[in-house]
Amino acid sequence: MAKGKHKKDQNHSPRIVNRRARRDYVVLDSFEVGIVLRGSEVKSIREGRVQISEAFAKVDSNRMELFLFNMEISAYSHASGANGHEHIATRKLLARRRQIKRLQVESEDRGVTLIPLTLYFNERGIAKIELGICKGKKTHDKRDDIKERQADLDIRRLMSKRM
């Protein structure tokens, strides 16, 4: 047996980050949830062929379950027609019932949106999503963030010149 053949190497697992989420929303809180996937979906995610920038989650209050909408997982390169999957489908998220109830209350009361921030594989090789409880930013808030980042960058440049 080759050395390290059966070990799961974390360096080869991609970490898909939703950069638009932090630009368009204020993240109030975040937590980790699991996701129900088929085999070809997992392999496609390991290839990095997934897009979560348009995705969002909602609580189904009748069944007390959490679902993810608009996440696009491209077809796995070696999957046949019968083993394939839908590119954009509703996928079930796995969370504790207590967390789901909290999310339902917050989304109704405070008018927040549930946005996936990152998609990654944990140390056991299980796909996880960091789900953020977010509130939408206004245009002037985005401008303020840009000005703040530019000011920090200018300060760092000046400090590096002095050193």
CATH class of 13-137: mainly beta
DSSP 8-state secondary structure symbol assigned to residue 125: S
pLDDT for 4 equals 40
DSSP strands (E only) in 40-112: 50-51, 56-60, 65-69, 72-73, 91-94
Task: Say how far apart CA 137 and CA 23 lie, in whole Å.
Answer: 8
Helix H or strand E segment including 161: helix 139-162
> pLDDT tens, 19-61?
888 888 888 888 899 999 877 788 888 888 888 888 999 888 7
pLDDT on residue 3:
41
Question: How would DSSP label each residue in 1-50?
Answer: --TTSSSPPGGGS--EE-HHHHHHEEEEEEEEEEE---HHHHHHHHTT-E
Residue spans of the domains in the chain: they are 13-137
Give the percent of the chain with pLDDT over 90. Answer: 13
pLDDT of residue 81: 59
Does 129 score more than 90 pLDDT? yes
pLDDT score, position 87:
66
Residue with tokens 């967390």: 99
Angle, CA 118 vertex, CA 155 and CA 148 arms, to 5°: 20
Is 158 a residue whose pLDDT tops 60?
Answer: yes
Calculate mean pLDDT across residues 64-70: 91
Q: Please write the tens of the pLDDT for every residue from 100-120.
A: 888 888 888 777 889 999 999
Residue 97 or 108, more confident: 97
